[in-house]
Chain A
Amino acid sequence: MMKNLAILFSFGSLLLLNACKPDDVIVDNPPADTGYSTGAFVVNEGSFLQNNASITHVAEDGTVTNDVYYAQNQVELGDVLQSFTVIGDRGYAVLNNSQKVEVVDMVTMKHAGAISGLSYPRFMVSAGNNKAFVSNGSTDGTIEVVDLASNQIESSIAVGKGPQRMGVYGNDVWVCNEGGWTLDSTITIVNAASHNVIDTVFVGHRPSDIVFDQLGYAWVLCAGETFYDANWAVVGHSLAKLYRIDVAAHAVVSSIPVGLPGDHPTQLEISPDGQVLYYENNGVYRFDFVNADFPGDLIIGEARTALRIQPSTGQLWCASISDFTNPSTVYVYSATGAPLKSFTAGIGTNGIEFQ
């Protein structure tokens, strides 16, 4: 009897052991080292606290490769990929909730370092001289000056609240103080060489994006604010506005409301020739500010995120997000809005970086 019991137990154990043997993780074979130094990089935020941010690479021949970082490094990129910037032969993935910037080799996409010591990093731009600026902070904001040789933070520059996107014009970096979890209405101008704040420009609520045209003007899209009462009921909105600023004088030349009360557009792009603006407000508008009147033409009728103009072709890239669980769809249009192609990217696409 005992022998039978022992045999039965052994048999059962064998079954269990084999049933629950850990399987090898299946990973698509990464591409050969053809390099990631060309093409486009789709920035997929991922789901908050799920550590599933990713980068999708689109090669020049149109080949789409999702999760390129994981494929090359066998570890997740991090939590909430806010932006991806290429400076020289390095790529910098700004991971907002991981509180770091992941540095990758742009040929192999392999891990090449990390910039830590950040509390709430958002965007990164080159400041020349092997330095970079990282916008940081959800309330009182700073620009963290990073030495790209050592990946160390050298200094902090105090700016407005919730700094977000930055634009580089000559030797100056223009910082949009979007407000973060509070509210701001300023643009801080920082000299890239001296790291000094040289001016502050007052615009509308929540400056979200900035571009520079060929005529010496900066265009800033201010998203406007939603106002709540003590019980979180919406009680009003401030209008979104597009500001035109004289770059040399640091002075607002004109502003115009965008959309209706309750609209809060945040994405602004400019054509490679610097003469046509594109902005998203429950659809994508094309505004030839030289030859046409505002608001311009509605060329894409659906809401889009990650609006970007490809510098080499002038084509319009943007994404559609259904939720933060399913993959996004990236669309490519001609400069006038004719659809060209689409493909599936990662979760929560919020940006595209072109090489």
Chain B
Amino acid sequence: MNKLVILIAGIVWSWCACAQQTDTISGYHQTEDVVIIARAGSIWKPSSVITPLQRRQWIGGDVGSFLDAHGIAHQLVAGAAGAASSLRYHGLSSDHAVLTWHGLPINSVTLGTCDMSLMPLFFFDQVRLYETPSLSEGMQCGMGLTIDLRNEALEEGSSARIISGYNSMRNRLIGAEAKVSQALRGGVLSTQVRAFQQEMQNRYSYVDRYQIDKPVMWQKHQQGSFAGSHLDLEYKRGNRLLAARSWWQSKSMELPTVMGTNVQGTASQADDNLRTMLEYRWWSAKLSADAQLAYTQEKLHYLDEPYAIDSRIGSQMVWARGSLQWRVTPSWMLKSTVSEALVHVANTNYTDGQIRKTWAQYALQSHYFKKRHELDVNGSFDRRFGSEGWSAQGNYGYKLDRKAWAMAPQFNLARRFRLPDMNELFWMPGGNPLLRPELGYHGRAGILLLLGRETRTVWRIEPAVYASRVSDWIQWVPAEGSVWTPVNYRKVQTQGVELHAACEHRTDYDRTKWKLETRWNMNDVFWLDSTSAHTQRRMIYTPRFTGYQGVTVEHGVHAITLGYRCVSERFTDEMNTPHRALAAYGLCNVWYSASLKIHGAQVQLSCGVDNVFDVAYETLRLYAMPGRVLRAGLEFSFQSNKKNEPREIITLD
């Protein structure tokens, strides 16, 4: 009876759902700054940052908001939490991170229209972070962080899923997924399709502290809709795999209102993206090879009538990558990768209406591991848009494994050469074709400790220190009129210390599980004044301290998480004007989920309160953030040949 009541309530709730509101920063500049806190076990291997429990608690949620709320990332947003186009890591700029889809870079070669807040969590099976990715992964051109989005095919059987999400800002999300895996001519053909549709209003009130009488305002011009789908086909036979993937999404929305002025939001933006990929993989005991061929297409229309801006931009890219991996000895692996891309951008504001550019990257990796030692050395040579340069990286790790504890110190040194991307060079208006490439030297030292193994209470503690020195750092700044443009900062330095710790305690028979998680990051980022080598100013929008503390209790089908997220003060201008700094803030969140089985279907119910104490804060100057937000989600899933969900444990890797 209780289960039936919950089910009915969930259906009614979903029916009343409003779309999740997400906003992108206006087309003036495409980059959002995010600070990443997370670390992988081995820093050059990816780690999946979304656990099955967190997926259950965030039904209907988006990737951007999730990363922010769990202290993995700090984002700048122009409206509802989660709007971000790109990422910042260890104080590095927002352009320094790379977003990839099955290895295809999707923000650096294109127009930068990759808003993490518009990527529903359910749309991807894996969101993997590479802290110091190997340059042999191809087309990185990042300075440390890569986020790779992937979907997994079913090994056998079939599954289906329907989800619905809603929040108190009147945003609604509906999605569906189907996966089928069947034997075919000695192999296995896996098909998966996913689709979603969002309606957004983003309706919330805020106190406009930038006006003399501090009126209570309602957010306006947040209307919009968003839809997406993907189709993946994989055929695996023996030691070969052939896959065809496609990802389409379309968005149309009005952009947010700015506080402190009487001007209401006047701009709108419509995006259409299509990404398709063919992938072939072959492997043997000693050798493996893979090839990818992709075609992407983007269209963007930005309109701001009062300011007479009407930009239509389109891009197409053909991208190919091939890699060969050779296991020379059981302890030593070599890998080489070649990537080439041909990009065409059409823009109504260009002199001749279009630009064609090529991009090539050649990379080598050597990975050696023996007993407790692991050494990875990789390098790449990039040639793009008339500039070229090389990067190199070395990682060393040591593992000491004991029955009750384990320890793994890790070190990373890198020289990274980053070429300006399409967005920085050619975005109209404001793109700067005269930008110089960046050159950075980076170092990181950390240690991973596992304590209490094979007991009911396990600890995982990861402290680390890091530093970077970057020349000709690219930063978007306001230019004349309504335009932002990227410029080079002569010298930027960043250094910091971070701590990621987790503790898990299980009671008898795993009835109840407690988990405590902490993520702290202390970071200093300074740039040298262009007029004086002795003047240091703090990089804009970079908090000195970010922290997250969460407690999760799982008991039976129920799970509840109490999280506290805090961000310290941030300057918003190059002169570090004190009264224009954004105040520090702390947000308390509560998330709950229940997992039920009803007539063979798995039903997940989630609800949560973000910003429980209705704190007023800003992450981007002049843009109001919503206060307390209630959200809920419901998921029905069916699966044949269901396997038990893997047990979440804290491990060394």
Which residues of A are at the interface with B, using a C-beta cutoff of 8 A? Answer: 1-2, 5, 8-9, 12-13, 15-17, 19-23, 25-27, 47-52, 67, 70, 73, 75-76, 78-79, 95, 97-100, 111, 114, 116, 181, 231-233, 323-327
Q: Tell me if B's interface is mostly helix, strand, loop or mixed.
A: loop
Contact A232 B586 (CB under 8 A): no
CB distance from B309 to the nearest CB of A (A): 11
Given contacts A17-B566, A26-B578, A51-B260, contact A323 B622 (CB under 8 A): no
| B477 CB contact (under 8 Å) in A22, A323, A327 | A323
Closest 7 CB pairs of A and B: A20-B566, A47-B478, A51-B260, A22-B583, A26-B578, A98-B261, A325-B477
Contact A232 B262 (CB under 8 A): no
Contact A1 B212 (CB under 8 A): no
Say if the beta carbon of B584 comes within 8 Å of chain A.
yes
Segment 543-591 of B: residues with Cβ below 8 Å from A? 545, 547, 549, 551, 564, 566-569, 573-575, 577-581, 583-586
Contact A5 B263 (CB under 8 A): no
B212: which A residues are within 8 A, CB to CB? Answer: 73, 75, 111, 114
Contact B518 A325 (CB under 8 A): no
Q: Which of B261, B349, B518 has the most CB of A within 10 A?
A: B261
Contact B352 A49 (CB under 8 A): no
Contact A98 B574 (CB under 8 A): no
Say if the beta carbon of B211 comes within 8 Å of chain A.
yes
Interface string of B444-477 (1 = CB under 8 A from A): 0000000000001100000000000000000001
Say if the beta carbon of B281 comes within 8 Å of chain A.
no
Contact A231 B353 (CB under 8 A): yes
Closest A residue to B455 by CB, please name it.
Answer: A1
For the complex, what is the distance from the CA of A264 to the CA of B166, rounded to whole Å? Answer: 55
B516: which A residues are within 8 A, CB to CB? Answer: 5, 8-9
Given contacts A48-B478, A52-B580, A70-B579, contact A97 B210 (CB under 8 A): no
Given contacts A16-B549, A16-B566, A232-B351, contact A49 B579 (CB under 8 A): no
**28 pairs from A and B in contact (CB 8 Å cutoff):** A1-B457, A2-B505, A13-B549, A16-B549, A16-B564, A20-B585, A20-B586, A22-B584, A25-B578, A25-B579, A48-B480, A48-B483, A49-B478, A49-B622, A50-B573, A51-B259, A51-B622, A70-B579, A76-B260, A78-B261, A79-B263, A95-B261, A98-B261, A232-B351, A323-B487, A324-B479, A325-B477, A325-B573
For the complex, what is the distance from the CA of A231 to the CA of B478, rounded to whole Å? Answer: 24
CB distance from A69 to the nearest CB of B (A): 10
Closest A residue to B562 by CB, please name it.
Answer: A9
For the complex, what is the distance from the CA of A70 to the CA of B580, rounded to whole Å? Answer: 10
Contact A325 B478 (CB under 8 A): yes
For the complex, what is the distance from the CA of A76 to the CA of B457, rounded to whole Å? Answer: 53
Contact B478 A324 (CB under 8 A): yes
Say if the beta carbon of B503 comes within 8 Å of chain A.
yes
A27: which B residues are within 8 A, CB to CB? Answer: 578-579
Contact A13 B457 (CB under 8 A): no
For the complex, what is the distance from the CA of A2 to the CA of B569, rounded to whole Å? Answer: 34
For the complex, what is the distance from the CA of A50 to the CA of B210, rounded to whole Å? Answer: 11
Say if the beta carbon of B621 comes within 8 Å of chain A.
yes
Size bracket of the B interface: 35 or more
B352: which A residues are within 8 A, CB to CB? Answer: 231
Contact B622 A50 (CB under 8 A): yes
B549: which A residues are within 8 A, CB to CB? Answer: 9, 12-13, 16
Contact B583 A25 (CB under 8 A): yes
| A26 CB contact (under 8 Å) in B551, B573, B579, B586 | B579
Interface string of B254-274 (1 = CB under 8 A from A): 000011111100000000000
A12: which B residues are within 8 A, CB to CB? Answer: 518, 549
Contact B481 A48 (CB under 8 A): yes
Contact B547 A16 (CB under 8 A): yes
B262: which A residues are within 8 A, CB to CB? Answer: 98-100, 116
A8: which B residues are within 8 A, CB to CB? Answer: 503, 516
For the complex, what is the distance from the CA of A67 to the CA of B574, rounded to whole Å? Answer: 16
Q: Which of B263, B505, B574 has the most CB of A within 10 A?
A: B263
CB distance from A116 to the nearest CB of B (A): 7
Contact A21 B584 (CB under 8 A): yes
Given contacts A51-B260, A324-B478, contact A232 B349 (CB under 8 A): yes
Q: Which of B214, B503, B566 has the most CB of A within 10 A?
A: B566
CB distance from A321 to the nearest CB of B (A): 9
CB distance from B613 to the nearest CB of A (A): 12
Say if the beta carbon of B280 comes within 8 Å of chain A.
no
Say if the beta carbon of B482 comes within 8 Å of chain A.
yes
Given contacts A21-B584, A324-B478, contact A1 B209 (CB under 8 A): no
Contact B210 A19 (CB under 8 A): no
B569: which A residues are within 8 A, CB to CB? Answer: 22-23
CB distance from A224 to the nearest CB of B (A): 19
Contact A50 B478 (CB under 8 A): yes
A325: which B residues are within 8 A, CB to CB? Answer: 477-478, 573-574
For the complex, what is the distance from the CA of A214 to the CA of B28, rounded to whole Å? Answer: 47
A78: which B residues are within 8 A, CB to CB? Answer: 260-261
Segment 598-623 of B: residues with Cβ below 8 Å from A? 621-622
Contact B481 A99 (CB under 8 A): no
Segment 490-545 of B: residues with Cβ below 8 Å from A? 503, 505, 514, 516, 518, 520, 545
Contact B566 A51 (CB under 8 A): no
Contact B479 A97 (CB under 8 A): no
Closest A residue to B262 by CB, please name it.
Answer: A99
B551: which A residues are within 8 A, CB to CB? Answer: 9
B482: which A residues are within 8 A, CB to CB? Answer: 48-49
Say if the beta carbon of B308 comes within 8 Å of chain A.
yes
Contact A326 B353 (CB under 8 A): no
For the complex, what is the distance from the CA of A114 to the CA of B577, rounded to whole Å? Answer: 26
Closest B residue to A324 by CB, please name it.
Answer: B478
Given contacts A2-B505, A98-B261, A99-B263, contact A51 B478 (CB under 8 A): no
Closest B residue to A111 by CB, please name it.
Answer: B212
For the complex, what is the distance from the CA of A325 to the CA of B576, rounded to whole Å? Answer: 11
| B308 CB contact (under 8 Å) in A23, A79, A181, A324 | A181
Excluding A17-B566, A21-B584, A27-B579, 5 further A-B contacts by CB distance (< 8 Å) are: A1-B457, A5-B514, A47-B478, A49-B258, A116-B262
A47: which B residues are within 8 A, CB to CB? Answer: 478
A79: which B residues are within 8 A, CB to CB? Answer: 258, 260-261, 263
Closest B residue to A117 by CB, please name it.
Answer: B262
Contact A25 B581 (CB under 8 A): yes
Say if the beta carbon of B15 comes within 8 Å of chain A.
no
Given contacts A25-B579, A327-B575, contact A20 B547 (CB under 8 A): yes
For the complex, what is the distance from the CA of A15 to the CA of B487, rounded to whole Å? Answer: 37
B518: which A residues are within 8 A, CB to CB? Answer: 12
Say if the beta carbon of B350 comes within 8 Å of chain A.
yes
CB distance from A267 to the nearest CB of B (A): 16
Closest A residue to B548 by CB, please name it.
Answer: A16
Q: Which of B28, B262, B487, B577 has the most CB of A within 10 A?
A: B262
For the complex, what is the distance from the CA of A152 to the CA of B457, rounded to whole Å? Answer: 71
| B586 CB contact (under 8 Å) in A16, A111, A323 | A16
CB distance from B253 to the nearest CB of A (A): 18
B210: which A residues are within 8 A, CB to CB? Answer: 51, 75-76
B481: which A residues are within 8 A, CB to CB? Answer: 48
For the complex, what is the distance from the CA of A12 to the CA of B503, rounded to whole Å? Answer: 13
B456: which A residues are within 8 A, CB to CB? Answer: 1
Closest B residue to A74 by CB, please name it.
Answer: B579
Given contacts A2-B505, A27-B579, A231-B353, contact A98 B260 (CB under 8 A): yes
Given contacts A26-B579, A52-B580, contact A97 B478 (CB under 8 A): no
For the complex, what is the distance from the CA of A1 to the CA of B508, rounded to whole Å? Answer: 14
Given contacts A5-B516, A9-B516, contact A19 B545 (CB under 8 A): yes
Segment 28-79 of B: residues with Cβ below 8 Å from A? 28
Closest A residue to B582 by CB, please name it.
Answer: A22
Closest A residue to B572 by CB, please name it.
Answer: A50
A51: which B residues are within 8 A, CB to CB? Answer: 210, 258-261, 621-622
B209: which A residues are within 8 A, CB to CB? Answer: 75
